[in-house]
Structure 1
């Protein structure tokens, strides 16, 4: 009898899952059935979300349709919620809440990560995450609305609170949100009559670390901090939120800050499905070997934020949870899955650090491509060039939006696409699967 083609199932279409699916569709073209399970029909280029939240880019620019990018991959539109390792089957819930199952011969776990939650009173009810399109679109509407409401407020204290914005977490995402947000509200405030008598909108960036961008090179940290402070962003280090309420936040140093906006960018944790697998984990991530295989289950592979990948450059440590690492791990996982099916040879995960780029809005950025520290307009050119090369689609549209931003004022209107109750950290959204059951 003819041999049945192997069934390869990939859970998640983030950087790792998308890269794995794309590579496998080329390596095993016509020799395997490749299935991708994801709650959305697009790949989201997360690094450009701050520009969506501040009106520089339209949401479709950072959303690459999976059907066109992966024409030879079957998409199961839904949320994977169970994995039967013994029976080699996964369970998933489709867009209409119907539970379905699918079998596999090879499984790639690339479910990514979700917001990191801390036991701080009021945060889950009043803070908003920044992990997907709903959060970015809501934040754009919310910031615009707060300035509109501040303009008509008779109470000076209410007006101050609505013009105050607090971002918790001075990592990659939080730094970019604060930097772009300060520019955005600066542009908007000039269109409101009350802006001429009030101080500029207030932005606070909080972090318990001792410097901005603590995970990156200190030179990038200094550049980012300098740009933020020049724009009026109050950078509070060794400081966080003790309590959050509807009307403001209490900081760990005792200060009460009246505000209607709390953006949570503290960090991420592996998707809860990793724990549900019942397999050994390390720092909450699924334990894998140098080949990204799961010990004891040669048919299962894991990559990206969900996997505890040994760092080949730092023995005894794990790779960082970054998009750059996820893309490369997805490709390595694809190579080794294909090798396990008789196509090519497997090889351990290796990488070369290409540096990082932080877009600070306007003509400012901080970058160190291949270890060369850059700042200002030159860093911005390097940063945008990197994003255009990394985008798997929509490059011409993104470049056009950037060009129009130089020539024309940004459009600031409320679209009302996402309601406020859909984005608090305590709720589940299509982009942030906080709970599984």
Structure 2
């Protein structure tokens, strides 16, 4: 698609404008790639502010949590796809719109300040939580690589501990898993981790009698965006695998060893995985610009009305959906939309520097694909409902197409092939409850007892047995 190109010597008010992009997700990365494509070397400075030097392909996180994919498979190195962007490794913690300055806390902890002439905000979203007693203390997430790897270790650890325990109640608690959220992430997480547990139970066949997976959601059906038929198909596939799906119910309270639902059902459980939606980045609230439920309000050109030099895209922006007839419709926070909003924001940032007209964002949703791991998937491309092997082929082909680098595609495809040919691995990676702040932390040298302490503790234990 054609668009404005910023050239050296263009009639621009500033000699060498600086375009700053916050966030390297689908929206941010696609904006940066368009900027590099349209801006000749030396005509403007392109800056990215992001805490990591990779773009995380979030749709495949459940497969990392289950071990189907290795973490580096979906961590696309920015250095492979960006060539002229200066990367500031840190988090944008504030923006002064008057002086056009971004406050950045670098990964080293110190603060730096980045001036901008045009700003593209794509900071993504955070996990949405509610005022549920015990949720923050005892809930687990699956929104980034660290959480996915930790979640895998945690689930496998529960099975190992259950196997080693002679306490029946403890076994029941450790073998019961609850996933909250009937959207894309929750359904795929439940499906993937249930398969992981089935593989792990080949070592501990006696635990199969205790193994219990639950998926709950406050909505009346799973993934309503799929339509009634496919949502029903997904639910039936989950139930066939042994996942108990309960709808129109939420969580009332969470403790270390049980979960209480709003219908007063109590489950003995030591693992609650929370995937019940997201909330916009807290960065939005500090800009002093108009928001809609935390999202920055923008026009069809993706610019904020009060500050036209600021553009917002992705999960944190309330973007009019021009493909819908109803007034006030907003684009859903999906990777499909975000990856298409980024280039439009980039083109409009360049157009605004050149004093040229900006274009509106328009995209008709192409559908949704859900990979349930194993050999199951459901898909709704272009309004057509597909299940079975055809849906799985479509889903995986789309992921390979959407991954933004060749090496990432090869890694993901190779992981899938290895699993199909050789099966999976169920060993923990050792990240559970581990902090590495000093040289010897990973070896946990401080945990060892002196002879006197060991003797004292042993006496106490022997006394309890008798």
Q: In structure 1, which of residues 385, 388, 399 is the aligned counterpart of residue 413 of structure 2?
A: 399
Q: Does 1:37 align with 2:52?
A: no
Give the 3 Å change call, closer, same or farther, for CA 298–158 of structure 1 in structure 2.
Answer: same
TM-score by length of 1: 0.93
Counterpart of 2:162 in structure 1 is: 150
Unmatched segments (≥5 aa) in structure 2: 1-11, 437-466
Q: Does 1:417 align with 2:452?
A: no
CA distance in 2, matches of 1:292, 1:174: 30
Q: Does 1:214 align with 2:228?
A: no
Q: In structure 1, which of residues 8, 25, 30 is the aligned counterpart of residue 36 of structure 2?
A: 25
Deviations 1:217-245 (A, max 9, x none): 22221121011000010000011111000
Q: In structure 1, which of residues 250, 256, 260 is the aligned counterpart of residue 270 of structure 2?
A: 260
Q: Does 1:114 align with 2:126?
A: yes
Partners of 1:27 and 1:343 within 8 A in 2: no
Following TM superposition, by how much is the alpha carbon of 1:62 offset from its aligned partner in structure 2, in angstroms? Answer: 0.2
Partners of 2:289 and 2:306 within 8 A in 1: no
Deviates more, 1:92-101 or 1:29-38: 29-38
Q: What is the root-mean-square deviation of aligned Cα atoms in Å?
A: 1.7
Q: Does 1:342 align with 2:354?
A: yes
Following TM superposition, by how much is the alpha carbon of 1:249 offset from its aligned partner in structure 2, in angstroms? Answer: 0.5
Q: Does 1:373 align with 2:385?
A: yes
Q: Which structure's relative contact order is higher, taking Cα pairs within 8 Å and 6+ residues apart?
A: 1
Counterpart of 1:128 in structure 2 is: 140
CA distance in 1, matches of 2:214, 2:434: 22
Counterpart of 2:441 in structure 1 is: none
Q: SS in structure 2 opposite 1:9?
A: strand
Q: Does 1:235 align with 2:245?
A: yes
Counterparts of 1:188-207 in structure 2, within 5 Å, are 188-195=200-207, 198-199=208-209, 201-207=211-217
Q: SS in structure 1 opposite 2:159?
A: helix
Partners of 1:138 and 1:420 within 8 A in 2: no
Q: Does 1:9 align with 2:23?
A: no
Deviates more, 1:308-317 or 1:388-397: 308-317
CA distance in 2, matches of 1:210, 1:2: 55
Counterpart of 2:318 in structure 1 is: 308
Partners of 2:199 and 2:426 within 8 A in 1: no
Q: SS in structure 1 opposite 2:237?
A: helix
Partners of 2:226 and 2:380 within 8 A in 1: no
Q: SS in structure 1 opposite 2:52?
A: coil
Counterpart of 1:389 in structure 2 is: 401
Give the 3 Å change call, closer, same or farther, for CA 200–388 of structure 1 in structure 2.
Answer: farther
Following TM superposition, by how much is the alpha carbon of 1:342 offset from its aligned partner in structure 2, in angstroms? Answer: 2.5
Counterpart of 2:454 in structure 1 is: none
Q: In structure 2, which of residues 68, 74, 80 is the aligned counterpart of residue 68 of structure 1?
A: 80
Following TM superposition, by how much is the alpha carbon of 1:194 offset from its aligned partner in structure 2, in angstroms? Answer: 2.7
Partners of 2:47 and 2:86 within 8 A in 1: yes
TM-score by length of 2: 0.88
CA distance in 1, matches of 2:433, 2:116: 38
Partners of 2:176 and 2:210 within 8 A in 1: no
Q: SS in structure 2 opposite 1:86?
A: coil
CA distance in 2, matches of 1:2, 1:212: 52
Q: Does 1:248 align with 2:262?
A: no
Following TM superposition, by how much is the alpha carbon of 1:418 offset from its aligned partner in structure 2, in angstroms? Answer: 5.2
Counterpart of 2:109 in structure 1 is: 97
Counterpart of 2:3 in structure 1 is: none
Q: In structure 2, which of residues 359, 362, 375 is the aligned counterpart of residue 363 of structure 1?
A: 375
Following TM superposition, by how much is the alpha carbon of 1:2 offset from its aligned partner in structure 2, in angstroms? Answer: 11
CA distance in 2, matches of 1:358, 1:165: 21
